[in-house]
């Protein structure tokens, strides 16, 4: 059967388009992997951000670890808008900021013009300097751990729940029964230890004595101006002030450029197959999955049963 000229032309267009997409995607991938050095010939102040509740540090840590190795990067500014989050990721971010300063010799300035509390502040004290707007909410040095008792709900729903465990503390914090006094003390000891780590870290990072930090480490929040007066911040200013301060520490003068790393986008294949995510939102999914996710967020299940460096009221 003889093919029409239009079908041949259409076939060639599809083939040519596929090849073009492949090469363009490869070039974009190559450009992303090559780092920031291809974007400018100037010395660079890298601008990174930490936003929202810190559940996982990967989104921030990946570009930090990648770009701190580049010679073009002379200093780093981290802009924070966060009420804190889970203890482990907050501590991991702190350690990597500290490592970037000490091992990679990159001056780091943290700046916040809105909110830098609890776990976010824990991470911030690893920086060389902290810059805050006068009205920024800062601090909330403390630890919280939340549990849920759904006994009455299960009774109403005529649902009986129980567990088989290997020790008396294995089901501690379970939502189907009340917490015993010894269990409550167990969790209190855990929270107290994590709190001690927080206070010691702030004292070390801010070059204060533990006795100077402790009176203010009761979960209270300061304004940026109060934080500076108490020694919990270095300078009142905005984001551009932080850029200039970082450049000054690095000895760059005025000959520098502020650059943000290019954002990673979901690929066409991810979009077509429904496996991509953007800002934590699933592109495709069943109604049941959406309902489960909504219920999980409503009950704040992802924040239950774990010690948190998180400002009260933020969850």
Which pLDDT tens digit goes with each residue over 160-176? 888 888 999 888 888 88
Q: What's phi and psi for 254, nearest 5 deg?
A: -100, -5
pLDDT band with cut points at 50, 70 and 90 for residue 306: confident
* 160 touches 281 (CB < 8 A): no
Alpha helices in the chain, H assignment, sequence order:
5-34, 58-67, 87-102, 119-124, 151-156, 181-205, 210-213, 224-230, 239-249, 268-273, 287-298
- For 118: left if phi > 0, alpha if psi spans -120 to 50, otherwise beta; the answer is left
Domains and CATH numbers, the chain: 36-267+305-310 (3.90.226.10)
**pLDDT at residue 309 in the model:** 85
Give the least confident one: 91-105, 125-139, 262-276.
262-276
Assign 144 to helix, strand or coil: strand
Say what the pLDDT of residue 295 is.
47
Q: Are 233 and 116 contacting, i.e. CB atoms less than 8 angstroms apart?
A: no
**Helix (H/G/I), strand (E/B), else coil: 226:** helix
Q: Which of 145, 250, 127 is nearest to 193 (CA)?
A: 145
Q: How many CB atoms lie within 10 A of CB 128?
A: 18
CA terminus-to-terminus distance, the chain: 67
Measure the CA–CA gap between 229 and 217, rounded to whole angstroms. 15
Query: Model confidence at 302, in pLDDT bands (50, 70, 90)?
Result: low
CA distance 138 to 311: 10
Dist. CA 238–CA 13, nearest whole Å: 52
Mean pLDDT calculated for residue range 92-107: 96
Q: What is the pLDDT of residue 283?
A: 36
Positions marked catalytic: 118, 170
Please state the rounded mean pLDDT for residues 70-83. 95
What is residue 304's predicted lDDT score, i.e. its pLDDT? 65
| Statement: residue 297 has pLDDT above 80 | no
Q: Which residues have a Cβ under 8 Å from the Cβ of 14 and sit 6 or more positions away?
A: none
Cβ 71 vs Cβ 37: under 8 Å: yes
**Residue 50: pLDDT over 70:** yes
Over 80: is that where the pLDDT of 282 sits? no
DSSP, collapsed to helix, strand or coil, labels residue 81 as strand
- Report the C-alpha gap between 75 and 235 in whole angstroms: 18
User: In whole angstroms, what is the distance from residue 260 CA to residue 249 CA?
Assistant: 19
Distance CA 99, CA 113 (A): 25
Range with the poorest average pLDDT among 135-144, 207-216, 236-245, 270-279? 270-279
- Better-scored residue on pLDDT, 315 or 149: 149
Burial-class residue 87 by CB neighbours within 10 Å (0-12, 13-18, 19+). buried
Give pLDDT, residue 119. 96
Average pLDDT over residues 42-62: 92
Task: List the single range of 88-92, 272-276, 287-291 with lowest mean pLDDT.
Answer: 272-276
- Band of pLDDT at residue 289, cut at 50, 70 and 90: low
SS3 at position 96: helix
Please state, for a pLDDT cut of 90, what percent of the chain lies above it.
Answer: 56
8 A C-beta contact, residue 232 and residue 139? yes
Looking at the predicted structure, is the pLDDT value of residue 10 above 70? no
Residues in CB range of 216: below 8 A, 6 or more apart: 139, 141, 222, 230, 232
CA dist list (Å): 115 to 82, 136, 248 = 6, 6, 25
Is the model's pLDDT at 32 over the cut of 80?
Answer: no
Lowest mean pLDDT among 4-8, 62-66, 185-189: 4-8
Query: How many residues in total does the chain contain?
Result: 315
pLDDT at 37 over 70: no
pTM of the model: 0.78
């Amino acid at each position: 059967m003889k093919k029409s000229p239009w079908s041949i032309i259409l076939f060639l267009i599809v083939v040519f388009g596929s090849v073009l997409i492949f090469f363009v995607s490869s070039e974009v991938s190559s450009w992303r992997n090559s780092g920031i050095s291809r974007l400018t010939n100037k010395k660079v102040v890298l601008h990174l951000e930490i936003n929202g509740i810190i559940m996982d540090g990967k989104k921030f840590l990946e570009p930090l670890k990648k770009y701190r190795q580049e010679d073009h990067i002379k200093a780093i500014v981290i802009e924070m808008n966060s009420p804190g989050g889970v203890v482990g990721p907050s501590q991991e971010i702190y350690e990597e900021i500290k490592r970037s300063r000490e091992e990679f010799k990159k001056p780091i300035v943290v700046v916040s013009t809105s909110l830098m509390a609890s776990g976010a502040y824990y991470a911030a004290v690893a920086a060389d300097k902290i810059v805050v707007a006068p009205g920024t909410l800062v601090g909330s040095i403390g630890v919280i751990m939340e549990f849920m008792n759904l006994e009455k709900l299960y009774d109403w729903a005529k649902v009986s729940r129980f567990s088989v465990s290997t020790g008396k503390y294995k089901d501690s914090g379970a939502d189907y029964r009340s917490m015993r006094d010894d269990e409550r003390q167990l969790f209190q000891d855990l929270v107290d230890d994590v709190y001690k780590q927080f206070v010691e870290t702030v004292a070390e990072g801010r070059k204060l004595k533990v006795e100077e930090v402790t009176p203010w480490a009761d979960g209270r929040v300061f304004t940026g101006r109060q934080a500076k007066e108490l020694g919990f911040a270095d300078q009142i200013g905005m984001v551009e002030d932080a850029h200039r301060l970082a450049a000054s520490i690095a000895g760059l003068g005025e000959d520098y450029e502020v650059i943000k790393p290019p954002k990673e986008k979901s690929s066409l294949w991810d979009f077509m197959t429904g496996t991509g995510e953007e800002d934590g939102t699933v592109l495709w999914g069943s109604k049941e999955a959406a309902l489960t996710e909504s219920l999980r967020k409503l009950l704040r299940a992802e924040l239950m049963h774990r010690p948190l460096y998180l400002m009260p009221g933020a969850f």
